[in-house]
Structure 1
């Protein structure tokens, strides 16, 4: 019997890829979604899809759900895809890039969540949504106005969604600062566009970045913990108490 199934966007690299790999190795059903399937995809299903195709999101969720065995006990949607770009002061940013940022970081996850909930309304499985947020949605970063706005919106949307649905647990989790391609993009920024560039260069040089492997393990443990449904909606993976220890408020 398939006990758990995961639909993961942004599954071709970084946290999404590593989380998919670990889940597949543990025997769970994994449906990865990204624009291009990686050559080293670890197994499970993969659906190539561009999340900017907003009018096709209902269909891609339907395709993903059709790959999940009917007796599955827990179904999890992980909205992990996103972009840090454009990096630059708000008044200098290109309109097309700003629009693309909001689509990938906020609009697409909103529509994916809606389709997931709507299509599973009559399904008795335990339903969970994990939205990958960022500390940038909760703190000001000069040069990241579009990214900060998208992630702040994702946090608040997650809170609304969790309040609206008694049968779906929603969390919006900041995973910390991780050594991924996004961090490489940040380190290639110009100081004029991102005044905090030196701090992020130091994170790398000082070995302060978390690995995708460790972060994926923590996220997988969080999603599977027995008190998941009691977790607050807005989370930071670095500040979670151990199950049964400390306060969750």
Structure 2
């Protein structure tokens, strides 16, 4: 049994990943604040409440460890807020953005590695990053910083796991510009807060955005067919 744990599974890329993996007879445990589709094997939790996350992973792994041949954690959940120039954003928005985009994936990954230390099957962590972690954009101070942090965290884990007896493979994937609710949030922002607003509106109007379905297909293909160790921890899905 291949077990996939996916955060942000209620919509966008996370929902498509869950649906497509289930169609391949994978065991998928979705994690999100809500379960609007009333999907089975779904855990409702707010990732801002980071104190619950280690126990969550511990319980999932304990439940499936007897049957599982592989475990894959996909840290997909993310938020682009707060959008605004540094000096104009609220402190609570910065705190929440860091919690969801960086603290939660770090805690979940830490728990995943801890609880599976002696598991001899395949173990993978897939962090959904962003080009914003590799390029600076005005108005996205928190988002850029957290995605850059996620990339660098992935590099560190990759180095550490190279020396483990039963290593966890890890990759941080930039999925490109996707037509999801996050893009709607971006387009609803103010150009004073986000100077590149017009560019992102044009992406939608010109049909440049990829669909969540297409992107999920590419990510699953990468997971199934690419050796993480060969590619290294930092990847752009558009290169595959």
Is the counterpart of residue 48 in structure 1 residue 22 in structure 2?
no
The residue that corresponds to 1:236 in the other structure is 236
Contact kept? 1:29, 1:68, Cα under 8 Å: no
**Residues matched between the structures, number:** 236
Mapped pair 1:140 → 2:132? no
Q: Does 1:84 align with 2:80?
A: yes
Question: SS at 1:235's partner residue?
Answer: strand
CA distance in 2, matches of 1:124, 1:65: 13
Matched residue, 1:169: 169
- Mapped to 1, the partners of 2:24 and 2:101 lie a distance apart of 29
User: Which consecutive residues of structure 2, in runs of 5 or more, have no partner in the other structure?
Assistant: none
Instruction: State the TM-score, normalizing by the size of structure 2.
Output: 0.95
Selected match of 1:130 from 121, 126, 129 = 126
The Cα of 1:210 is off from its aligned counterpart by 0.3
Give, in angstroms, the shift of residue 226 of structure 1: 4.8
Deviations 1:201-249 (A, max 9, x none): 0000000000000000000010111523322100100013xxxxxxxxx
Are 1:12 and 2:14 matched, yes or no?
no
Q: Is the 8 A contact 1:15 1:215 kept in 2?
A: yes
Aligned-partner Cα distance in 2 for 1:145–1:219: 26
Give how far 1:40 is off: 5.5
Q: Distance in 1 between matches of 2:51 and 2:94?
A: 20
- The corresponding residue for 1:189 is 189
User: Aligned residue for 1:21?
Assistant: 19
> How far, CA to CA, are the matches of 2:217 and 2:169 in structure 1?
20
RMSD: 1.1
Quote the Cα distance in structure 2 between the aligned partners of 1:208 and 1:72.
Answer: 39
Q: Deviations over 1:95-121 (max 9, x none)?
A: 000011011110110000000000000
3-state DSSP class of the match of 2:9?
coil
Q: What residue ranges of structure 1 are gaps of 5+ in the alignment? A: 241-249
Cα drift, residue 39 of structure 1 = 2.1
- Partner SS for 1:142: coil
| Partners of 2:171 and 2:228 within 8 A in 1 | no
> In the alignment, is the contact (CA less than 8 A) between 2:79 and 2:101 conserved in 1?
yes
